[in-house]
């Protein structure tokens, strides 16, 4: 890099030579013809600082993304209301009327059963497919979304269902075409028509999703009733106090004990994960590392400028006697010093970006994210490239290095030029 970067600077200086003004041409020409060793120290320091900063930002960003995903997996939405009894319509409506609530998905958690050679259990959930798909996409859980038409019921004694992949494999291995059920809704069968990698409703891999409209039709045909929802998935910005007030208001109207309802918030789970020791210590370590690497790079740039200052001052003194103003002289020093800063920042950012595909498959950030063994169903947290973690450290360090160059040019350069001019007068 030290050997190559002067070439484009020399080529860029050629067209400037044919234009008016000497600042751009002289600055790029001197930057392109300077000794390679003088540029080595600041380039290495900037490369090290940006590589560490960009990779560290990617690690922290991946860990934060993992905690956010774990909180969503545990709660399933912005808020979750569970009840030990079916919820009356007045309670559900109380949540719908609450300020800050955008979506309320009512879910019937029906009694499960066993299936497969090992007799493993499953959980059956009745949902509105369209409302569920809308909520999943609103929450950013594309893995839990599915086309609502998959659960369309077209009559008969068997209703379609979506299963978790592990449960679907167990059902296939059992050799049955449909799961027979006999419960308070009636006698009916459940046929798995597809799989969904994850659900908003549970972290277990034993979920069956069916349409509550299909259950209602089965119940109507057999003169039974479908119970009211006992689980509400809520999307919106309503806080915990607001939702608990809705619990009190709705249960008071329905004559239900509010202690039977439990409200859980995704934000509370995320705050607990963020407050764990691993994320706090990781953030502190990263910040101190960035500060140390940034100071090292700034010191390297400053030392390189001080090393080149005598020759720059002599040049500016000669140019001053030829009629170049002081402002043009300072711009000349900036044009000469800044290319290596830009090159170092760009190279460091690219190296930080390259570490993601190289190290990403071997990195598991679950321990750093604080989700390993603490959040049931949380998937492994990997390293993924993102724009902001790569760009922000580079821009910050670039601004800091440019400020150092400008300060050295304005303060130290002015004094050295004055010394050179006085020496010339005495000579």
pLDDT averaged over the chain?
A: 79
Q: What is the pTM of this model?
A: 0.74
425: pLDDT confidence band, cut at 50, 70 and 90? Answer: very low
Strands annotated E in 229-272: 231-236, 261-265
Q: Domain ranges in the chain?
A: 6-72+274-426, 77-272
Q: What is the pLDDT of residues 344-393, one digit of tens each?
A: 778 888 887 787 778 777 777 777 776 765 555 555 666 776 777 777 77
Q: What is the pLDDT of residues 125-147, one digit of tens each?
A: 999 999 999 999 999 888 889 99
How far, in Å, CA of 188 to CA of 181, rounded? Answer: 6
Q: What is the pLDDT of residues 218-246, one digit of tens each?
A: 999 888 888 889 999 999 999 999 999 99
For 214-217, the CB contacts below 8 A with 24+ separation are 214/151, 214/153, 214/159, 214/160, 215/108, 215/110, 215/126, 215/159, 215/185, 217/153, 217/155
Return the structure tokens found at 292. Answer: 């140390």
How far, in Å, CA of 205 to CA of 162, rounded? Answer: 12
Token pair 């044009």 in the structure block, residue: 335
Q: In the 8-state DSSP scheme, what is residue 378?
A: P
Provide mean pLDDT across the span 403-419. 64
Percent over 70 (pLDDT), the chain: 78
179 or 32: which leads in pLDDT: 179
């Amino acid at each position: 890099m030290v050997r190559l970067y002067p070439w484009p600077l020399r080529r860029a200086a050629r067209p400037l030579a044919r234009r008016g003004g000497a600042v751009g041409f002289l600055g790029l020409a001197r930057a392109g013809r300077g000794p390679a060793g003088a540029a080595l120290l600041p380039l290495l320091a900037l490369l090290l600082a940006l590589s560490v900063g960009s990779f560290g930002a990617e690690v922290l960003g991946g860990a934060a993304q993992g905690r956010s995903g774990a909180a969503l997996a545990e709660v399933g939405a912005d808020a979750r209301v569970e009840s030990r009894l079916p919820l009356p319509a007045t309670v559900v409506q109380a949540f719908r009327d609450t300020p800050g609530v955008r979506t309320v998905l009512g879910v019937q958690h029906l009694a499960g059963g066993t299936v497969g050679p090992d007799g493993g259990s499953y959980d059956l959930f009745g949902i509105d497919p369209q409302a569920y798909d809308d909520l999943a996409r609103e929450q950013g859980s594309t893995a839990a979304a599915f086309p609502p038409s998959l659960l369309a019921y077209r009559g008969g004694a068997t209703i379609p269902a979506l299963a978790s992949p592990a449960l679907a494999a167990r059902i296939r291995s059992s050799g049955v075409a449909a799961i027979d059920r006999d419960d308070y809704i009636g006698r009916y069968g459940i046929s798995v028509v597809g799989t969904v990698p994850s659900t908003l409703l549970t972290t277990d891999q034993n979920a069956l999703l069916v349409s509550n409209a299909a259950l209602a039709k089965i119940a109507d045909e057999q003169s039974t009733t479908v119970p009211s929802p006992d689980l509400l998935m809520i999307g919106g910005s309503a806080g915990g106090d607001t939702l608990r007030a809705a619990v009190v208001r709705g249960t008071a109207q329905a004559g239900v004990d509010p202690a039977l309802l439990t409200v859980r918030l995704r934000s509370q789970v995320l705050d607990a994960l963020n407050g764990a020791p691993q994320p706090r210590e990781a953030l502190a370590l990263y910040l101190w590392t960035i500060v140390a690497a940034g100071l090292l790079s700034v010191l390297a740039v400053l030392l390189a400028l001080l090393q080149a200052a005598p020759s720059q001052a002599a040049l500016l003194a000669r140019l001053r006697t030829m009629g170049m103003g002081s402002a043009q002289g300072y711009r000349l020093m900036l044009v000469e010093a800044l290319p290596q800063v830009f090159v170092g920042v760009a190279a460091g950012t690219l190296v930080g970006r390259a570490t993601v595909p190289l190290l990403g498959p071997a990195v598991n950030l679950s321990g750093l994210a604080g989700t390993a063994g603490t959040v049931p169903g949380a998937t492994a947290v990997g390293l993924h490239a993102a724009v902001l973690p790569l760009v922000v450290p580079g821009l910050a360090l670039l601004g800091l290095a440019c400020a150092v160059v400008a300060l050295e040019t304005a303060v130290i350069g002015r004094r050295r030029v004055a010394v050179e001019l006085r020496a010339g007068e005495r000579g």
